[in-house]
Amino acid sequence: MPMLNTNFCYPDETTWYIAFEVEARVYPKSYNYIETDQCLTTPWEVVDYYTDEVEWLVVLAQYGIEPNEE
């Protein structure tokens, strides 16, 4: 079975993302940000994108994740 990849390249502005394994968004599998000169390739099919870092942090907090503490 071929592995599917989600790609997102060269956003107009810094873009934060949260990737999930399934549409139910049970728990994030990956999260980070993409600069305007970067590409994201991930095996996770469900990816939410944010151009507001505060909004991204609020969503991560709902899952008990505080990325600045890691």
The verdict on residue 46 lying in a domain is yes
> Would you say residue 54 lies in a domain?
yes
Q: What is the dihedral of CA 65, 19, 3, 11, to 10 degrees?
A: -130
Average pLDDT over all residues of the chain: 90
SS3 59: helix
The tally of domains found in the chain comes to: 1
- Report d(CA 51, CA 64) in Å as an integer: 21
Alpha carbons 20 and 46: distance in angstroms, whole number: 5
Q: Is 68 helix (H, G, I), strand (E, B) or coil?
A: helix
Residue 27 lies in a domain: yes
Residue-wise pLDDT tens digits, 13-44: 999 999 998 888 899 999 999 999 999 999 98
Q: Are 3 and 26 in contact (CB under 8 A)?
A: no
Residue 1 lies in a domain: no
What is the pLDDT at residue 3? Answer: 53
pLDDT of residue 23: 84
Instruction: Domain of residue 57: give its range.
Output: 6-69
